[in-house]
Amino acid sequence: MSQDALLLVEGLKVIFPTDAGIIKAVEGIDLAIHPGECLALVGESGCGKSVSSLAILGLLGTPPALVRAQTIRFDGQNLQALNEQQMAQIRGKDIAMIFQDALTALNPVMSIGRQLDEVFLKHCGMNKSQAKEASIEALRAVGVSSPAQRYRQFPHQLSGGMRQRVLIAMAFAASPKLIIADEPTTALDVTIQMQVLEELRAMQRKSGTALMLITHDLSVVNYLADRILVMYSGKIVETGPVKQILKRPAHPYTEGLLTSVPRLDTCNTRFYQIPDQVPNPMNKPSGCHFHPRCSYAGELCKQTMPSLRSLSPQREVRCHFPLQKGEGGDSQHA
């Protein structure tokens, strides 16, 4: 793990003890994000992506969650040693979040302008008139039309795409060092998604802010991210540079996710889907958690959890039999 990382997480575990049993949501993940970098956390719903980000930000109620980690270090500070007031200061100022559903994330009874003003008033030391000016400029910067008029409107008066742009404006308002974007375009129409992604990428490149992107959408990953971290059933199963992994996945789960992406350039009338579902976190399979869904599984996979091992200086995979893409695109065991 890189010691010059902006965010360094080592050995993060999140469990939820319940009357019915223990839910192991995250089973010891390591990650590092460097200044200006975009890291994508990828996987199906229930793999532990969002829970990991909420745990890092101290946004999980403890109890019911139990959060343990060897290291959660952000910009040189040990986040586990900070109290709630200190964490609240970091959230919004140094680390901001963009949530999936803007209508839920925004306060329905406050105007867009007042909600944006709050960021500038609270974190940037501005007075009211400075905050208003900065808010209108922030709306303009993310492509909101007629920003002075939108400033006075309420969330329900804006389209879904406009509301998502407002969330992006709020996230970048205090010039944070890191933004965590949880499925930032999933709730939008496909045509609007691209516009919002372009805005997000332009803002990130211009500001040099690091981005942790949480998504199941590999086309979004391909467009925005530098590195990818694939999670399955609470564990990291593959990491590496986006271009390499999307071209030559080494883990059967990553290959399955890629094959599941609908394509317009083939005549196939049937979509591929990974069989079955993500396992119940209270009752995970023995050995490799992916083995009941994996077409490459052998006896060893049913008995022994593979360790995360290095394939190259930049790539790691958790698989007993990592794939090697043939010249023709066919997968083979290593």
Binding region for ligand SF4 (CB under 6 A): 251-252, 288, 290-291, 294, 296-297, 301, 306, 319-321
> How far apart are CB 216 and ligand SF4 at their closest, in Å?
18
> How far apart are CB 305 and ligand SF4 at their closest, in Å?
8
Q: Which is closer to ligand SF4, CB of 132 or CB of 251?
A: 251
Place of tokens 């694939």: 230
> How far apart are CB 42 and ligand SF4 at their closest, in Å?
15
> How far apart are CB 287 and ligand SF4 at their closest, in Å?
7
Run of H or E including 327: none
> How far apart are CB 230 and ligand SF4 at their closest, in Å?
11
> How far apart are CB 280 and ligand SF4 at their closest, in Å?
18
* Packing angle of the helix pair 112-123, 128-141 (nearest 10 deg): 120
Q: Which is closer to ligand SF4, CB of 163 or CB of 235?
A: 235
Tokens found for residue 56: 């890092």
Q: Which is closer to ligand SF4, CB of 150 or CB of 318?
A: 318
Q: Which is closer to ligand SF4, CB of 120 or CB of 290?
A: 290
Strand partners, 67: 14
Cα–Cα distance, 93 to 178 (Å, whole number): 9
306-312: Cβ within 8 A, 24+ apart: 308/236, 308/237, 308/239, 311/240, 311/250, 312/240
Cα–Cα distance, 6 to 21 (Å, whole number): 36
Going from the C-alpha of 103 to that of each of 111, 192, 200, 286, 324, the distances in angstroms are 13, 16, 18, 41, 44
> How far apart are CB 306 and ligand SF4 at their closest, in Å?
5
> How far apart are CB 253 and ligand SF4 at their closest, in Å?
6
Cα–Cα distance, 123 to 113 (Å, whole number): 16
Q: Which is closer to ligand SF4, CB of 126 or CB of 305?
A: 305
Q: What does the DSSP 8-state code read for residue 175?
A: -
Strands 315-317, 323-325: pairing kind: unpaired
Q: Which is closer to ligand SF4, CB of 160 or CB of 292?
A: 292
Closest CA to 65 of 107, 24, 6, 118: 24
Residue pair 71/10 in contact (Cβ under 8 Å)? The answer is yes
Q: Which is closer to ligand SF4, CB of 49 or CB of 251?
A: 251
Q: Which is closer to ligand SF4, CB of 241 or CB of 292?
A: 292
Q: Which is closer to ligand SF4, CB of 173 or CB of 288?
A: 288
> Residues near 95 by Cβ (< 8 Å), separated by ≥ 6?
57, 74, 176, 177, 178, 179, 180
> How far apart are CB 171 and ligand SF4 at their closest, in Å?
35
Closest CA to 196 of 100, 108, 106, 95: 100
